[in-house]
Structure 1
């Protein structure tokens, strides 16, 4: 998601991966289940009333299992979909998630890694990548 994401964008992207089963019921293609992953879920810009329409659409679906067809004003029941989201810490363009939406998730917080942890993680990855290089190049890992 970004500051330019609208509720219509979210609805169109998800509906593109759904197929109509029975009247008003939409499911993922092929009879599968779908995981909708939304990165930077806290990025949509707030409107004049303080709400974030893309997030309100997601909350409507989570709470009631449907949203509306924007042209015909009919209910579209969206089934067999699970929502997963990721958000960075609030600040700058990012805002905290609305409490009503946050209550729909099992939320957990990951603390940022320490400098030593980053050295260990990326040093190991770089060491594996450089193992076929000459000794001088391998030395770049420790600097």
Structure 2
């Protein structure tokens, strides 16, 4: 089973909560922890990763905290996953990675995962945090993803 870490899930929850605030409002880790039920050390860790990924900006000082770097509608889920998990790939032998596998020299499917990974990245780029934050998931991208490929 392919599964994202809990930190990726928490990242979506925290970003959605930040998006609920007035535009540009700064929220601190303890306030976000209280609002979401996620432990404060975990909130701080996720926010640091999100800041490193350019999804939130931080402000120091007495009235410091975090704010979205761009609106929820401009943040694809792919960006959130990449900020928390790293590059989106099902195997280590993609995108020119060398030395990640003991049998790469003789592997009959080496490089064949690239189209699969590209399709996954594309699908995850079609869904934004605004789509995830919607109470009723009526997303046009999701409808397109559910259509059979001919």
TM-score normalised over the length of structure 2: 0.25
Structure number, greater radius of gyration: 1
Larger strand percent: 1
Larger helix percent: 2
TM-score normalised over the length of structure 1: 0.26
